[in-house]
Amino acid sequence: MVRPPCCGSEDDEKVKKGPWTAEEDAKLVDYITNKGHTNWKSLPKLAGLNRCGKSCRLRWTNYLRPDIKRGKFSEEEERLIINLHSVLGNKWSRIATHLSGRTDNEIKNYYNTHIRKKLLQMGIDPQTHKPRTDHSQIAQIINLTQLIGAAQQLNSIMMLNNNGIIGNSNNNNNNNNSVANSIIPLLHLLNPATTSAASTFLAQQQQQQQIMSSQEELLLARLLNPAGAGAVQQQELFCNQFLNTLPALATGRGSSLMVNNNNNGALATARESALPGLVSAEASPEASSSTSLVHHNNNVNGGVDGVMEAGNNNNNYPHLSNNSSNFSDGTTAFSSPGTAADVDDNQYEAWEKMLLMDDDFVPTFGDSGFFSSWKDDDLVLE
């Protein structure tokens, strides 16, 4: 059955459309302030407005409501929107419930204009939050500026690494070659045919390094020697992940949102979250004795220790009950018995709410995609 529009056709000529005037706004605000809005359909007549009820509702909820927060979105809000969108998709109204004072319309507009553009520039598909695999566009996306930026940031990370802030590297080598070590593989990725000389140089540099940290090894291995079919795509995927995880890594924090069939997987995911992208996908756990959702809100080493401790005490995470557990290092874990399939939507909703409401939630990036959508997968490696 096709319903008529909310404003009957016989009234169309009378009902005003288009931008609201200050006078109309004042009438609407005055009426709702005094009488409320129990019935939008009858409201316009009662308020002396020549608008349809739907238009009044929209004007009120999106613009006139007193609790609306106007102005530029903060970085925190932007990050939260991206997180939420990666989990919820285009559920703008649900996203809006997590950002006080922001309307679904405002968030939708902001995402489609600002965030969408940003993600595209980063090589991320704004709809799926996964790296784009359009080969013809990759080279345009990863431009020289990004390479330089990436190299500088990688250099910072390696310095952090050598200072023991990230990882447990024993490598105290001079970092002078770090930039070269990082930028050459990226150049190689863009155009292998014309970077043979650079690759040779890289090989020489690698030989000169007495000890290479495990992170560096993994990074270069995955950039230069992706195995098996789809090597190019793997390179691109990893490159995107790598470029985009740098800022998060630089903060020295590891956070993850995952559905994890644990046992050994607990350790694997913990490590992965500590240094996203540098643990191989093959580290996925086989056994499934329980399902857990872990939020690492800590410095990297602390996060690993916290989860490892949980796993080492008992592979089944004995002290993680049906609700949340908080580790001393700031890690928050949620778990329930059974496999991922045994966790119903309500449980996921509850977890989702708890995590997303957490101001410290920081997204991480896994092989299954940038800002992984855990709800869609039984297992999301972070």
Partner DNA sequence: AACAAGCGCAACCGCCTCATA
Partner DNA sequence: GTATGAGGCGGTTGCGCTTGT
- Which of 62, 314 has the CB closer to DNA? 62
Token pair listed for 269: 């995911």
Q: Could you say which of 35, 65, 91, 353 contacts DNA (CB under 7 A)?
A: 91
Q: Any contact of residue 206 with DNA (CB under 7 A)?
A: no
53 binding DNA? (CB under 7 A): yes
- The number of beta carbons lying within 10 Å of the beta carbon of residue 198 is 17
Q: How many CB atoms lie within 10 A of CB 145?
A: 8
Q: Is 354 in the site for DNA (CB under 7 A)?
A: no
Closest C-alpha to 237, from 156, 135, 322:
135
Residue 5 interacts with DNA (CB under 7 A): yes or no: yes
**Window 109-128: residues binding DNA (CB under 7 A):** 109-110, 112-114, 117
Q: Which stretch binds DNA (CB under 7 A): 107-115, 240-248, 262-270, 297-305?
A: 107-115
Distance CA 69, CA 76 (A): 14
CB of 209 to DNA, least distance (A): 44
C-beta closer to DNA: residue 49 or 186 = 49
69: contact with DNA by CB under 7 A: no
Half-sphere exposure of 368 (CA within 13 A, CB side): 19
One-character DSSP codes across 340-359: GGGS-HHHHHHHHHHHHT-T
Nearer to DNA, 61 or 284 (CB): 61
Contacting DNA within 139-168 (CB under 7 A): none
Instruction: State in angstroms the smallest separation of the CB of 56 from DNA.
Output: 8
Interface residue with DNA among 27, 55, 216, 238 (CB under 7 A) is 55
Q: Can you tell me which residue has the tokens 């996908």? A: 281
Helix runs in the chain, H state only: 22-35, 43-47, 53-59, 75-88, 92-96, 104-110, 116-121, 135-141, 144-162, 178-190, 196-208, 214-224, 231-250, 264-274, 300-313, 345-356
Nearest to 93 by CA among 61, 118, 54: 61
301 interacts with DNA by CB under 7 A:
no
Q: Which spans of this chain sit near DNA (rule: CB under 7 A)?
A: 1-3, 5-6, 16-20, 38-41, 51, 53-55, 57-59, 62-63, 90-94, 104-106, 108-110, 112-114, 117
